[in-house]
Amino acid sequence: MDASADVSTTVAVERGLSTAEVAERVRTGRTNAYVADTSRSVWTIVRANVFTLFNGIVFACFFVLFVLGRWQDALFGLAAFANSIIGCVQEFRAKAALDRLALLNAPRARVRREGAEAEIAPPDVVLDDILVLRAGDQVPADAVVVETRGLQIDESMLTGESDAVDKKPGDDALSGSIVVAGEGAARVSRVGADSYANRFAGEAKRFSLVASEVRTSVNRVLKWMSWIIGPVGLLVLNAQMMVAGGWVQAWENGGWVQAVVNTIAALTAMIPLGLVLITSITFAVGAAKLASRQVLVNELPAVEGLARVDIICLDKTGTLTGGDIAFDAIDRMPDGAGGGDEALAWFGAAPDANATARCLREPFPVEAPLHAVAYIPFSSARKWSAASFATGPEGTWVLGAPEMLFSDAATDAATGLGRTVTALASSGRRMLVLAHAASRISAEDVEAERLPEALTPVAVVTFREQVRPDAAETLAYFARQGVGIRVISGDNPRTVAAIARAVGLDVTDGFDARGLPEDDAELGEVLEQNIVFGRVTPEQKKRMVIALQARGHTVAMTGDGVNDALAIKTADLGIAMNSGAAATKAVARIVLLDGRFSHLPDVVAEGRQVIANIERVSMLFLNKTVYATVLAVLFGVLVLEFPFLPRQLSITDGLTIGIPAFFLALLPNTQRYVPGFLRRSLAFAIPAGSIIAVALTLYTLGAMQLGVSEPQLRTGSTIILAIVGIWVLTVLSRPITRFKALVIGGMFIALVAVFTVPVLTAFFQLVDPGEEAAWLVTIVTVLTIGAIEIVRFFHRRYVARSLAAA
Catalytically active residues, by annotation: 315
Specify the DSSP element, H or E, that contains 172. Answer: strand 172-173
3 state DSSP class of 739: helix
Asked whether the beta carbons of 692 and 623 are under 8 A apart, the reply is: yes
Asked whether the beta carbons of 767 and 775 are under 8 A apart, the reply is: no
Asked whether the beta carbons of 337 and 345 are under 8 A apart, the reply is: no
Greatest Cα pair distance, the chain, in angstroms, is 119
Question: 677 exposed, middle or buried (CB, 10 Å; 0-12, 13-18, 19+)?
Answer: buried
- 55: closest CA among 82, 93, 28? 82
Spatial neighbors of 347 by CB under 8 A, at least 6 apart, are 353, 357, 360, 385, 387, 397, 399
The single-letter DSSP state of residue 352 is: T
The single-letter DSSP state of residue 640 is: -
3 state DSSP class of 804: helix
CA distances from 53 to 58, 60, 277, 315, 559 (A): 9, 10, 16, 43, 39
| Neighbouring C-beta atoms of residue 778, cutoff 10 Å | 13
* For the chain, the helix, strand and coil percentages under 3-state DSSP, each to the nearest 5: 55, 15, 30
Interhelix angle 213-243/53-67, rounded to 10 degrees, is 40
Backbone angles phi, psi at 668, to 5 degrees: -60, 140
Asked whether the beta carbons of 555 and 541 are under 8 A apart, the reply is: no
For residue 223, how far is the Cα from the chain centroid?
Answer: 27
- 146: closest CA among 127, 164, 167, 166? 167
For residue 583, how far is the Cα from the chain centroid?
Answer: 12
For residues 269, 270, 271, 274, the Cα torsion angle rounded to the nearest 10 degrees is: 50
Spatial neighbors of 268 by CB under 8 A, at least 6 apart, are 58, 61, 76, 646, 649
Asked whether the beta carbons of 132 and 182 are under 8 A apart, the reply is: no
**HEC secondary structure over 57-123:** HHHHHHHHHHHCCCHHHCCCHHHHHHHHHHHHHHHHHHHHHHHCCCCCCCCCEEEEECCEEEEECHH
How would DSSP label each residue in 192-260? Answer: GGGSHHHHHHHHHTS--PPP-HHHHHHHHHHHHHHHHHHHHHHHHHHHHHHHTT-HHHHHHHTHHHHHH
Q: What angle do CA 538, 541, 546 make, to 5 degrees?
A: 135
CA distances from 12 to 110, 130, 365, 523 (A): 16, 8, 44, 48
Q: How far apart are CA 748 and CA 780, in angstroms?
A: 19
| Neighbouring C-beta atoms of residue 566, cutoff 10 Å | 23
Asked whether the beta carbons of 661 and 619 are under 8 A apart, the reply is: no
The single-letter DSSP state of residue 36 is: P
How would DSSP label each residue in 474-517? Answer: HHHHHHHTT-EEEEE-SS-HHHHHHHHHHTT---SS-EEGGG--
Helix (DSSP H) and strand (DSSP E) numbers for the chain: 31, 21
Strand partners, 461: 330, 432
